[in-house]
Amino acid sequence: MSPYLSILLLALCWFFPPGPAHGDPVRGKILFKEKKCLLCHDIALPGTEFKPMCPGLQGVSARHSREWTARWLKNPAAVWRTGDADVQDIDARYFNFRGSKPKPRESFMATVIGKQVILSGDEIEDLLDYLWTL
């Protein structure tokens, strides 16, 4: 590599540093409140407790992949319809917590909230970074 090209590359990196690999967890925490996620989700509770009506989010990163959670935040109804292993896990935890037998149901986030709260790609990344701190 020529010395001029090396200097040019170093200068470009100096003036245009690469952005963060993900989002901003501080902004994600603000979005969690602004988008009213806390009305249904308790960040201090584990995912095995559904209070007031949705799973707690403590340890969500151990339960679901970042990619799956990003798809969920983007379009929960589409993800719910897949009936994938993560959806089955949420359903099983819900019925176990409620002490009843599983039966067909719709996710509140997939049917109501997902239609009202639209998140941009950057907002999803910010929320994911915040959720991954829990």
Which 3-state string (H, E, C) describes 67-100?
A: HHHHHHHHCHHHHHHHCCHHHHHHHHHHHHHHCC
- Between vectors from CA 94 to CA 90 and to CA 97, what angle results, nearest 5°? 135
Identify the pLDDT of residue 5: 46
Give the C-alpha separation, 19 to 121, whole Å. Answer: 15
Identify the pLDDT of residue 4: 57
Backbone angles phi, psi at 102, to 5 degrees: -60, 140
- Between vectors from CA 44 to CA 39 and to CA 49, what angle results, nearest 5°? 75
Identify the pLDDT of residue 103: 79
Identify the pLDDT of residue 22: 76
Q: Are 44 and 56 in contact (CB under 8 A)?
A: yes
Taken in order of first residue, the domains within the chain and their CATH numbers are 22-131 (1.10.760.10)
128: Cβ–Cβ under 8 A, 6 or more apart, which residues? 22, 23, 28, 66, 69, 70, 73
Identify the pLDDT of residue 128: 97
Identify the pLDDT of residue 13: 54
Mean pLDDT in consecutive groups of 10 residues from the start of the chain, 134 residues: 54 51 90 93 94 91 97 94 95 91 82 85 97 96
